[in-house]
Amino acid sequence: MSFPSGTWHRIDCVQSWLILILLIAVLPAFLGESYFNQQSYSLTRSWTPERRELDYLRFIGASDQTAKEVKIFGLADFLANRFKRLAHRYVLANKHIAIRRAGWGAALGLISTAAYYGAYILIIQQTIAGIITIGTLTFLAGSFDRMRGLLQGLMSRFSTIAEAALYLQDLFDFFAIQPEIVSPKNPRPFPNPIREGFTFEQVSFKYPDTEKWVLQDLDFTLQAGEKLALVGENGAGKTTLVKLLARLYEPTTGRILLDGHDLREYDLATLRDHIGIIFQGFSKICVTCRRKYCDR
Ligand SMILES: Nc1ncnc2c1ncn2[C@@H]1O[C@H](COP(=O)(O)OP(=O)(O)OP(=O)(O)O)[C@@H](O)[C@H]1O
Ligand SMILES: [Mg+2]
């Protein structure tokens, strides 16, 4: 096939326009999708406490462990209503985004469709004007359609991956959290047997992100071999004191000594190996105690 001089330049021109139209056909929908993915993620994240509460309400409303209390105290309606109210608010917040997403999706879809037909009109015009042949028209129209399909597929996959990456980042952030209570680099050998016992020196403690002092200026020694009962009203800080002893938390001020040395100087795992605690809110771990579990 031979073209008059200058025809190639005009076909190039048509192709440049087609590429621009192609971008107009796929980009707005992609950008819209990315924007609403971000919005959905932000909503899910900002509703984390409420979503946890919903899970918790579902658990206490339907668990065999809480069935006694739910029945005796007639909690079923209270739990169901609370769940309904919270779930309704969450549905409304999601609905708002879903409606906007659908509206914008339709509008941006229209731009894409208009661009698609615009490309056809352009190609047909160029054919009527004799710039391109019927064969080139068929070729260009087919290529444009395939390219649009491929690009849309590519961007849709990209947007799905980008959306998943938003949630994945939370997981990586979680893995990146470093424990604040760690063993020292060169731990002191654990006393065996313990000779002097535990000494609390001016120990005060607040739970993280709270204002209330749970323990204040606590000074006492628990001698080796001594039996000590701590008696106090609910919330006095008895369990907290035991948690400090096991280094589940660090004193906010003051220090705890074991045989005259700060607890922080000992290896954390060895310290916990030497302490046996049954907490009042103990957990039952429902697994069969086979050798392979016990040995780990
Ligand atoms: N993880 C926590 N975060 C914030 N505050 C807490 C936490 N655990 C306990 N507290 C608060 O610290 C205070 C002391 O609690 P703690 O459990 O040590 O008391 P307790 O003397 O063991 O009470 P009980 O007799 O009921 O077992 C209470 O006011 C409690 O609400
Ligand atoms: Mg307690």
Nearest CA to ligand 1 atom 16: 237
Closest ligand 1 atom, residue 237 Cα? 18
* Whole-number pLDDT of residue 8: 57
Q: Where are the alpha helices (DSSP H) in the chain?
A: 7-46, 48-62, 67-72, 76-128, 134-176, 238-245, 268-273, 291-294
Residue-averaged pLDDT of the chain = 89
- For ligand 2, the distance from its centroid to the CA atom of residue 6, given in whole angstroms, is 90
At 181-238, the pLDDT tens digits run 999 999 999 998 999 999 999 999 999 999 999 999 999 999 999 999 999 999 999 9
Q: Are residues 139 and 58 in the same domain?
A: yes
pLDDT number for residue 229: 93
Ligand nearest to the CA of 241: 1
Mutate to test the pocket of ligand 1, among 239, 244, 250 (most ligand atoms within 8 A of CB): 239
The reply to whether 100 and 208 lie within a common domain is no
Q: pLDDT per residue over 122-133, tens digit each? A: 889 889 988 888
- Which one has a higher pLDDT value, 214 or 139? 214
> Which one, of 209, 202, 212, 194, lies nearest residue 259 by Cα?
194
Instruction: Please tell me the residue having the least CA distance from ligand 1 atom 25.
Output: 234
Same domain, 214 and 155: no
Q: Are residues 49 and 143 in the same domain?
A: yes
> 158 and 22 share a domain?
yes
**The pLDDT of residue 141 is above 60:** yes
Asked if the structure places residue 183 within a domain, the reply is: no
Residues 161 and 206 reside in one and the same domain? no
For the segment 101-115, the average pLDDT, to the nearest whole number, is 92
Residue 184 located in a structural domain: no
Interval between CA 246 and ligand 2 midpoint (Å): 14
Give mean pLDDT, residues 45-74. Answer: 94
Q: Which residue has the higher pLDDT, 143 or 87?
A: 87
Nearest CA to ligand 1 atom 9: 240
Residues spanned by the domain of 12? 7-176
On whether both 37 and 169 belong to a single domain, the answer is yes
> 272 with 246: CB under 8 angstroms?
yes
pLDDT at 75 (0 to 100): 94
Closest C-alpha to ligand 1, atom 24: 234
Q: Using pLDDT thresholds of 50, 70 and 90, give the confidence band for residue 1.
A: very low
pLDDT for 283 equals: 81
Closest Cα to atom 28 of ligand 1 = 235
Instruction: Indicate whether 162 belongs to any domain.
Output: yes
Give me the phi and psi of 221, to 5 degrees please: -125, 130
On whether both 125 and 22 belong to a single domain, the answer is yes
Residue 2 lies in a domain: no
Give the domain-ending residue among 176, 206, 241: 176
Per the domain annotation, does 181 fall within a domain? Answer: no
Regarding whether 47 and 139 lie in a shared domain, the answer is yes
The CATH number linked to 27 is 1.20.1560.10
Domain count, the chain: 2
Q: 261 CA to middle of ligand 1, Å?
A: 27
pTM of the model: 0.70
Could you tell me the CATH number of the domain that includes residue 288? 3.40.50.300
Domain contains 187? no
Q: Domain check: are 132 and 212 in the same one?
A: no
131 inside domain: yes
Q: Is residue 87 pLDDT above 90, yes or no? A: yes
Give pLDDT, residue 10.
60
**Residue 11 class from Cβ within 10 Å (0-12 exposed, 13-18 middle, 19+ buried)?**
middle
Say whether both 124 and 28 belong to one domain.
yes
Residue 114: inside a domain, yes or no? yes
> Ligand 1 — pocket residues by CB below 6 A?
207, 210, 214, 232, 234-240, 280
154 and 229 share one domain: no
- The fraction of the chain above a pLDDT of 70, given in percent, is 94
